[in-house]
Amino acid sequence: MTYSTYMESPVGRLLLEGDEEGLRGVAFAKDEGKIEQAMRLPAPLQNAVNQLNAYFAGDLRHFDLPLKLAGTPFQLAVWRALQDIPYGETTSYGELARRVGTPKGSRAVGLANGANPIAIVVPCHRVIGASGSLTGYGGGLDRKRWLIEHERRWRTDCLF
């Protein structure tokens, strides 16, 4: 059974989805209506809420959650590579393409990045344009900027 819950965050309301096996999604939700919380969330979903709260408080820089990513082999490779970008740092689409073995595939990496179903935890916000500019983010560039600045502010102060 798939469960979902909302949580408030500094970048707006997040919708989390998962089951007993792991987290399947973190998305930016519309800020409409009342938040309905499930009485008992499966452990992976409750752990995701707890870790995201710690992340936003500046107390966590590495998520340790079971993830249930579903995508093409290329998308999965890109999403794994995203998780290797250090907290508080950024990389370009071109560099990420080189890391996954497709040095001329920056556009394909951008498409895979945009299809990432688990925002923040799988840190697609850490990918920027070759010139250092902020480009493309499903949650909007203001959120991307906030997440990058948040991580840079806390990167040396975190314990984990």
Task: Write the CA distances from 146 to 9, 42, 51, integer angstroms.
Answer: 12, 29, 18
CA–CA distance, 116 with 85 (Å, rounded to integer): 15
**Most distant CA pair in the chain, distance:** 48
Residues paired with residue 22 on neighbouring β-strands, in sequence order: 19
Asked whether 114 and 138 are in contact (CB, 8 A), the reply is yes
List the one residue out of 27, 87, 84 whose CA is nearest residue 54. 87
Q: What does the alpha-carbon distance between residue 155 and residue 160 come to, in Å, rounded to a whole number? A: 10
DSSP code at position 122: S
Q: Which of 45, 65, 124, 128 does the annotation list as catalytic?
A: 124
**Contact at 8 Å (CB) between 139 and 119?**
yes
124 catalytic? Reply is yes
**Which residues form the catalytic set?**
124
